[in-house]
């Protein structure tokens, strides 16, 4: 350690390559952190957009689910020849996400470009709507009206000018109603 400090304090210029090497290493580490945070920001933004799109779909179902009855005893049902049928719609979650994120559809993928370069793609949407039970005896602890959505996010990763394997994650979001009464 003493020798390292002496090398840095040396006035003959022999520490110059060492300082350059340390600076380059610190710069590479900083680039790694910046790429990590870029990926994290993109994933959070897409997750938030998916959450908003699912909430829009849930709100579109409000009239079908709570149509003038006490909230704890209702579900998305309509009378149908002496019985009841589900009357919920899964909506257009990807279309809402396209509006929010500004993506466009290319060969089955919803793609976002920034400056002509692929930023990310969203694929494999799976939407599941779970209806509340029809007039449960005890509404506490029963299933409530919920919509789940799962999308796959793919983001190209670059580090030090080289393309690395893409980040591929599944994002799951959920929205639903909680009875007030």
H/E segment holding residue 111 = strand 109-114
| Residue 116 tokens, joined | 């002509």
How many whole angstroms from its chain centre is CA 16? 46
Question: Between 160 and 69, whose confidence is greater?
Answer: 160
Between CA 174 and CA 104 the distance in angstroms is 24
Query: Taking 80 as the threshold, does the pLDDT of residue 80 lie above it?
Result: no
* Residue 13 predicted with pLDDT over 90: no
* Residue boundaries of the structural domains of the chain: 17-62+91-176
Give per-residue pLDDT as tens, 94-114. 888 889 999 999 988 999 999
pTM of the model: 0.75
Secondary structure (3-state) at 61: coil
Statement: residue 175 has pLDDT above 60: yes
pLDDT in tens, 110-160: 999 999 889 999 999 888 888 777 666 665 666 677 888 999 999 999 887
DSSP H/E element including 109: strand 109-114
Q: What is the number of alpha carbons within 13 Å of residue 21 lying toward its C-beta?
A: 6
Question: Between 67 and 159, whose confidence is greater?
Answer: 159
């Amino acid at each position: 350690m003493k020798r390292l400090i002496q090398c840095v304090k040396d006035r003959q210029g022999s520490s110059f390559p060492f300082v350059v090497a340390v600076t380059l290493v610190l710069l590479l580490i900083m680039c790694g952190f910046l790429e990590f945070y870029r990926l994290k920001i993109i994933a959070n933004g897409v997750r938030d957009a998916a959450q908003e799109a699912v909430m829009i779909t849930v709100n579109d179902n409000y009239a079908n689910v709570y149509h003038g009855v006490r909230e704890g005893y209702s579900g998305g049902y309509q009378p149908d020849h002496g019985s009841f049928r589900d009357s919920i719609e899964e909506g257009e979650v990807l279309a809402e996400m396209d509006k929010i994120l500004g993506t466009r559809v290319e060969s089955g993928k919803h793609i976002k470009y920034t400056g002509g370069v692929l930023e990310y793609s969203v694929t494999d949407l799976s939407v599941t709507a779970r209806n509340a039970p029809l007039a449960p005896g005890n509404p506490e602890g029963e299933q409530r009206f919920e919509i789940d959505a799962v999308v796959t996010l793919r983001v190209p990763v670059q580090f030090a000018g080289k393309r690395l394997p893409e980040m591929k994650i599944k994002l799951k979001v959920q929205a639903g109603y909680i009875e007030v009464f």
